[in-house]
A and B are shown apart, each in its own frame.
Chain A
Amino acid sequence: MSASTPLRVPASSASRASAAPRRRTSLARREAIEGLLYISPFLLGFLIFTAYPMVASAYLSLTKYNIITPPQWIGLDNYVEAFTKDKLFGSSLDKTARFAVMNVLFGVLGSLGAALLLNQRFPGTTVFRTFFFLPSITPVIASALLWTWIYQPTIGLLNYLLGLVGIEGPAWLQSSTWAIPSLVIISLWGSIGGSRMIVFLAGLQGVPQEMYEAAEIDGAGAWSKFRHITLPLISPTMFFNVVLAIIGSLSVFSLAYIATGGGPNYATYFYVYHLFKNAFEYSRMGYAAAMAWLFFLIVLVLTLLQFRLSKRWVYYAGGDNPEGASDGR
């Protein structure tokens, strides 16, 4: 309340020259306290649900802990086990990488393609956008169930449709070669038309129309317009989408848990699945914590690598730094 009466100078103040700065610092302090108070839910949450668990899991990763008996210090044994003894560690990492590569590549290209289509501004665009978006709000359990059933090898819809054009469809989720691609298709179904496409669409709409017109006058074709105007101008959007797609793809778990149970023959037994089983089925909390930390390091390294590489291909208009452009002041 005192802050709202700046005009009344206290009569007791010795001199105006010394009162003004003091008032300014007390105002600044008050602002700082209020600001910190407003962000305190985040700070508390960060300490309780991010910082503490990360430190705790670093400690647990150096122990053997089955919840019932107290943690027992075993040094780096969990990490050694992961890299030397546990065959499923390597294999689950390999399956995850396969899934992620396909999912990121087709997912990002698919979203971009869909966005380019919708950016044509033909009648009906909004309706189509709705159809495209719908799968992305479908619960993972629902999409896994409905696709499991479309994939059914003998009576499923997909193989029936393939049969109509003379293709004998594989056993999809029940085939160890096709299980990962099948899950990728479910995942693409649920992500191509979702927020990633909308972000691309917004990026495309931010490209000034005059640039295309200028290029047309110079005789540029559709491809060279895309290559030399669209792509550079949407590269920040592309970067954002790729980073998020990679993090999301590496976390794949629920789909496999519901649709395949990690099978057949561990074909879809992904990294997080292995982590989940160790933690909550085998009660190997120490080993699961070690896996969690390794996972974090993988995500961190990949993301930092992206930021490093982005300097080569991401173009920020006007040469501004990206933060400055988004800050609005």
Chain B
Amino acid sequence: MAASAVALPALRSTRALRTLRRGVVFYLGVGLLTVFFFGPFLWTVLSSLKEASEITTFPPTLFPKVPHFENYPYTWNKVPFLRFYMNSAVVTGLAMLGQTTTATLVAYGFARFRFPLKGFFFMLVMSTLMVPWEVTIVPSFLLFKFLGWLDTLAPLIVPHWFGGGPFFIFLMRQFFLTIPRDFDEAAKIDGAGSFRVLWEILVPLCRPAITTVAIFSFLFHWNAFIEPLIFLNTPEKFTISLGLRYFQTSPMEAGEPKDHLLMAGTVIMAAPCVLLFFAAQRYFVKGIVLSGLKG
């Protein structure tokens, strides 16, 4: 009795010590990683508010002496950013719509119907993961050239209306499989056809999964660089990422410094992604877990 009364506080204190040590390791680790991950962001935002001469001073300063918010409207008008934004909005909106609707339809087919070669077709879906874009790009380019689609937004939109890719199909299918079939059966007994079952019963239940697909699709198309680079030529057609590249490589008159403006342009481009991320954080985690874990 006496022995255990002495031993217990001792035990508790070593456990507390261990927790403390783990805590120190944890906060040190995440602190360093936060500097690595978040530092460059902060640096870019702060630099975008500096004036040109402050950019090149050494040693570098963290904060601008006076925040030059006018860098933003100046950059916005320097190259047709509005045009780029509009083009990206069109591409992103339509491609996103295509991916979410067709991925939902295809996933519904795989999740709820029996048909010949189903296993084979599903394997085909997943095997396209192993076909990088590089492999198909040359004939695709020639196909779009043949269709007269080069230097239009069509090649960035139309291919995304065909199922939306293996990730999204898989994610939606996984979600459909978690919904009990009793819901479908009940609706069917009431005389609903398969499309009405999908539209009226399953889609409302799948809202989180559909939102997740939409968000990832948004990011994918907003950030896309290679496809616009290959398919677009004239600046009026450029999407935002290509527009920023155009700004980076186009010369300024009379050697006007541009680095701080380029930082402002970078912020302008990344802003919608960052805002979307903060607005819809929980969908990111859920969506990734659903599509990734069980792969």
Contact = CB atoms under 8 A, between A and B. Distances in A.
A309 interface: no
A88 B293 CA distance: 39
Contacts of A220: none
A295 B37 contact: no
Contact of B113 (A32, A133, A134, A157): A32
Nearest to A120: B26
Given A39-B106, A41-B163, A146 B43 contact: yes
Nearest to A38: B109
A285 B113 contact: no
Interface residues on A, range: 35 or more
A253 B169 CA distance: 26
Given A31-B113, A42-B106, A134-B37, A145 B248 contact: yes
Question: Do most interface residues of chain A lie in helix, strand or loop, or is the interface mixed?
Answer: helix
B101 to A, nearest CB: 9
Contacts of A272: 134
Contacts of B142: 56, 67, 285
A86 to B, nearest CB: 17
B191 A142 contact: no
Contacts of B113: 31-32, 34-35, 38
B36 A145 contact: no
Interface centre among B40, B109, B114, B269 (most CB of A within 10 A): B40
Interface stretch (A17-25, A100-108, A174-182, A194-202): A194-202
Interface in A39-89: 39, 41-46, 48-50, 52-54, 56-57, 60, 67
Interface string B20-58: 001100110110011011101101100100000001111
B257 to A, nearest CB: 12
A305 B244 CA distance: 40
Given A41-B161, A146-B40, A147-B40, A137 B110 contact: no
A9 interface: no
Contacts of A195: 288, 292
Query: Chain B: interface residue count, which band?
Result: 35 or more
B226 A253 contact: yes
A295 B132 contact: yes
B130 A50 contact: no
Given A41-B102, A122-B26, A189-B36, A134 B109 contact: no
B277 interface: yes
Contacts of B124: 46
A193 B106 contact: no
Contacts of A328: 174, 177-178
B162 A198 contact: no
A328 to B, nearest CB: 4
A132 interface: yes
Interface stretch (B4-12, B64-72, B217-225): B217-225
B178 to A, nearest CB: 7
A32 B116 contact: yes
B132 to A, nearest CB: 5
Contacts of B89: none
A224 interface: no
B75 interface: no
Contacts of A143: 40
A106 B234 CA distance: 39
A149 B138 CA distance: 33
Interface of A: 1, 3-4, 28, 31-39, 41-46, 48-50, 52-54, 56-57, 60, 67, 113-114, 117-118, 120, 122, 124, 128-135, 137-143, 145-147, 149-150, 154-157, 160, 189, 192-193, 195, 198-199, 202-203, 206, 237, 240, 247, 250-251, 253-254, 257-258, 272, 275-276, 279-280, 285, 288-289, 292-293, 295-296, 299-300, 303, 325-329
Interface of B: 22-23, 26-27, 29-30, 33-34, 36-38, 40-41, 43-44, 47, 55-60, 102, 105-106, 108-110, 112-116, 118, 121, 124-125, 128-143, 145, 159, 161-163, 169, 174, 177-178, 188-194, 219, 222-223, 225-226, 229-230, 240-241, 244-245, 248, 259, 262-263, 266, 269-270, 273-274, 276-278, 281, 284-285, 288-289, 292-295
